Amino acid sequence: MNDWFTIDKIDAKTYVISEYYHPEETHCYLLLGSERAVLIDTGLGVSNIKSVVDSLTSLPILVITTHIHWDHIGGHKYFSDFYVHSAEMDWLNGKFPLPLETVKEMVVDHCALPDDFDINNYELFQGVPTMVLTDKNIIDIGGRQIEVLHTPGHSPGHCCFYEQDRRWLYSGDLIYKSCLTPFIRLPTHLRLCVLLKR
């Protein structure tokens, strides 16, 4: 399978890169600024998301992470500049709460994986972030500012990213198409832009 990722253009400077062949249907967002680009999450890591990003922009890439679950950080291995929330730092150095074999089962569950992917070589991403995120941080990529909103519930360090100028909220796993058990009350002034396909 050569076309693991689906690319949708939201506007001239914003793309969603989705993994619809896997039940998790992870969505990663590429935001282009004038100085650099932000990639929100990197998906499962079963195919090279960096090659997709490189086909869309030549800007330097900063990865910001909604949370340190396996289906959102698998492609971090392709990038050297990434940010995560302080509450999940331990998960990046061997303390992820699920064993590797359990994660591997979830990766292959009900899924036709790319031909060149071998589950025997799959590892949970481990690494040291270039910055630790906290609530209300502002990330400026040149002409676009993204605010960090710490929204624990789905995971201890879960973050949403709010872009005031566009009034878009990049919600990670805080907002689902179906039922989600933990609920977080958001400020009423936020008008949510939920981008869902299917």
Please, what are the domains in the chain?
6-170 (3.60.15.10)
pLDDT of residue 39: 98
**C-beta of residue 49 within 8 angstroms of C-beta of residue 71:** no
pLDDT of residue 194 exceeding 60, the answer is: no
Tell me the per-residue pLDDT of 112-148, one tens digit each, with 9 for 90 and over: 899 999 999 999 999 999 999 999 999 999 999 999 9
pLDDT, average across residues 3-8: 95
pLDDT category of residue 174 using cuts at 50, 70 and 90: confident
pLDDT of residue 80: 95
pLDDT category of residue 109 using cuts at 50, 70 and 90: confident
pLDDT of residue 197: 39
Average pLDDT in the chain: 88
pLDDT category of residue 178 using cuts at 50, 70 and 90: low
Tell me the per-residue pLDDT of 42-93, one tens digit each, with 9 for 90 and over: 999 999 999 999 999 999 999 999 999 999 999 999 999 999 999 999 999 9
pLDDT of residue 70: 93
pLDDT of residue 182: 41
Give me the percent of the chain exceeding a pLDDT of 70: 87
**What residues pair up with 40 in beta bridges, in sequence order?**
29, 64
pLDDT of residue 186: 41
pLDDT category of residue 24 using cuts at 50, 70 and 90: confident
